[in-house]
Structure 1
Amino acid sequence: MFIDLRDGPVVIEPPTESLCVVDDFWFRYVADMGIAGPDGEKGGRYLFLPPGYDGPEPDGYFVHRTPTFTNWAVFRALGGVEAIKQTRVHRLAEAADPPEMAFVNVADKRFNTVHANDISFFEEVDELVQEEPPESLDPERAGQLAAIGIRHGSPFAPDERLRGILDTAARTAAGISRALVYFPREPASFLTEGSSWKQAFVGGSYEFLHDHARLLDARTQFHYFATVITPAMAHAQVGAGSAYAYTAEDGQGRILDGGKHYRLTLPPNPPAKNFWSVDLYDTQTRSLLQTDNPYPSLASLTGTVALEPDGSTVLWFGPTPPAGQETNWIRTVPNKSWFPMLRLYGPLQPWFDGAWMPSELTEV
């Protein structure tokens, strides 16, 4: 959900046994709640204060100040929907008598969350610049935006020449970003040498810093295809946080084709304290692959995924299921490329050691 602090501080009570994050409106990390937060999955009360707030800070809260009025809160509960409904959000002024929460199920609803890839991208950025305090953006990036006419408190009105330049820039940047996501050249982007599996965080820093330098390609690689930023993902601790790997290629380096069939093997004992999941995404939208099932995924949490005699897990992908493998199959869409995302919640030591690795995808 989005929280707006223009009308004052907001209190969030996350569910127990959850992985919850708050980012500001420039997608910068503000706070972890739950397993990776100070409440340590037991639940607690978090207080978020708006820019410039100089009022009292009451006791009994984990207090965070954020540079933007609008913030994004992500709630992930290991206990599923019923656990999510433990979540409570209200204004501090309503603490004595909080209003009832309303929960909206958006699983089967269609809506567009993809940023524009043309001149209107810059209009989206301008909207944020106008809505938020000028101090919320660092002088370097504020200066880059000012150079093309995006300034807080001023209308963004590029002439025809500049509009053409910015339109070309947005389209070119989208192509560069896709290349950085699916075909990075940085060796550190890959889980191991010779593997097509890539990691979303290069350098182990949620701010993409390494040796006093910002890893700009790595930042683009993550933010173009993923959402929400937290140290618990970039530098997960053993048994806490989450770890991710993805690939858009089979073991021969060929783009995954929704009209073909593939096999993926997860070796025995996946190193996840909580659970593992594999979800399928559309390479174009970077959103979940749209099929007849709104949940194109398999997870150990469901208890329905079958194991092989040696304890390994074989997953199947394709437009139709292999005979007898329906429980371990996810549908793909002909004429559309896709990519799987492997998630480990509560990653364990074999993941960090590289002792456990998923197989390459094999066309069958």
Structure 2
Amino acid sequence: MASGRAADVEFFEKFRVWSQEFPPADRDVRLQQNFTGLGLTGAAPLTEAGPELVAALDTEYTAGRAHVEEVARTAPGIRRVNGWLLAIHGFDYNVDTFEVGTVDSPDWKIADDTLRIVSRAAAARGTVGKPRLRGAYALTYVDLDGAPLDGAHSYRITLDPVPPVDAFWSLTMYSVPDFYLVDNPIDRYSVGDRTPGLVADDNGAVTITVSRDEPADPADRANWLPAPAGPFRPALRMYSPRKTILDGTYDLPPLVRVD
């Protein structure tokens, strides 16, 4: 194989093969055809590519990966509320590929072609959802004051009311920058309406403590979401969300630093 980073060529070779084995939806065919000059739509394996094409693939891979990382963090075109990025349309391609569990509705689609494609990539990078379920997702990297979330501090978030859903909701902890679940002494990776012993106040509101160290107060400990020692990014998952989530009437509260 020609010189170049093998990982880059391998990535695009997988794209070439898989995009032909699983053809794109009608609305994405035109986009795929734009890749013809990079050898991504033909029959020739990219392992046989010459040095000029390998260099071009290397450049595109580096630039594309950086762009996806930036979009995953900044979420252009996505509504922001109290530091949360509302990734409601992250998996809008469901209706192109799946049937069961999907809804063919404007509420679940992104009309802009360019934004749609990069949003899909960012959603996949951020591991925010399951493509066969109707789910709305929200991500945040910052607290109420806009400071990056970090396990050196403790935070609280009060869901009042809790997310209006017809299925279930959960707040899940992920590391940064790899978005992995975070190991912790109680093997708890999320807190939600299915968490055993979840404590709510008299009005049904739920306050979740997000911290590296286990809270001393029993109520805080019952609703504790363990955090890593360093930066982190929680994701709020809301399955079968009601209209107030989709139309933006329901606003998510911020994470408030308490120490």
TM-score category by the smaller chain? 0.7 to 0.9
Determine the structure 2 residue equivalent to 1:334.
229
Shift of 1:180: 1.1
Larger Rg over CA atoms:
1
Instruction: Establish whether residue 218 from structure 1 lines up as the match of residue 218 from structure 2.
Output: no
Alignment match, 1:199: 86
Q: After the TM superposition, which residues 253-272 of structure 1 pair with which residues of structure 2 at under 5 Å, given as runs?
A: 253-272=146-165
Cα distance in structure 2, aligned partners of 1:176 and 1:135: 22
- Residue 126 of structure 1 corresponds to 16
Q: Which residues of 2 match residues 10-49 of structure 1 at below 5 A?
A: none
Q: Which amino acid aligns with 1:267?
A: D
Aligned length: 232
Q: Percent of counterpart pairs with the same letter?
A: 24
By percentage of residues, which structure has more helix? 2
Letter in 2 for 1:264: I
Give the deviation of 1:286 after TM superposition: 3.0
Q: Contact conserved, 2:107 with 2:246, CA < 8 A, in 1?
A: no
Q: 1:1-364 residue pairs with structure 2 within 5 A?
A: 118-129=8-19, 132=21, 139-156=29-46, 157-186=48-77, 189-192=78-81, 195-202=82-89, 204=106, 206-210=108-112, 213-216=113-116, 217-226=118-127, 227-229=129-131, 233=134, 242-292=135-185, 295-324=188-217, 325-335=220-230, 337-352=231-246, 354-364=248-258
Q: Is the 8 A contact 1:117 1:171 kept in 2?
A: no
1:361, 1:293 → 2: CA distance?
Answer: 22
- Matched-pair contact (CA < 8 Å) for 1:267–1:311: yes
Residue in 1 that maps onto 2:103: none
Query: Using the alignment, how far apart are the partners of 2:238 and 2:184 within structure 1?
Result: 24
TM-score of the two chains, using structure 2 as the length reference: 0.74
Q: Secondary structure at the match of 2:208?
A: strand
Determine helix, strand or coil for the equivalent of 2:167. strand
| Gap change, CA 1:136 and 1:252, over 3 Å in 2 | closer
Distance 2:154 2:8 in 1: 35
> 2: distance between equivalents of 1:257 and 1:135?
40
Call closer, same or farther: CA 1:133–1:268 in 2, change over 3 Å. Answer: closer
* Cα distance change on mapping 1:278 and 1:169 into 2, 3 Å: same
Deviation digits for residues 302-361 of structure 1, max 9, x if unmatched? 3411123443211111211221222111222113x2211112233234434644433111
SS in 2 for 1:243: strand
**How many Å apart are 1:243 and its aligned residue?**
2.5
Q: When you count strand as a share of all residues, which structure comes out higher?
A: 1
SS in 2 for 1:265: strand
Indicate the residue corresponding to 1:21 in structure 2. none
Distance 1:134 1:251, change over 3 A: closer
Contact persistence 1:260–1:334 (CA under 8 A): no
Contact 2:13/2:45 (8 A) holds in 1: no
Partner SS state of residue 234, structure 2: strand
Whether contact under 8 Å (2:154, 2:210) holds in the other structure is: yes
SS at match of 1:176: helix
In structure 1, C-alpha distance between the alignment counterparts of 2:213 and 2:63, rounded to whole Å: 36
Verify the 8 A CA contact 2:160 2:206 in the aligned structure 1. Answer: yes
SS at match of 1:198: strand
Report the residue type matching 2:59 in the other structure: T
What is the CA–CA distance in structure 1 between the aligned matches of 2:45 and 2:140, rounded to whole Å? 42
State the Cα deviation string for residues 105-135 of structure 1 (Å, max 9, x = none): xxxxxxxxxxx984432133134246x1668
Does the residue aligned with 1:351 lie in a helix, a strand or coil?
A: helix
Structure 1 residues 166 and 259: CA distance shift in structure 2, 3 A: farther
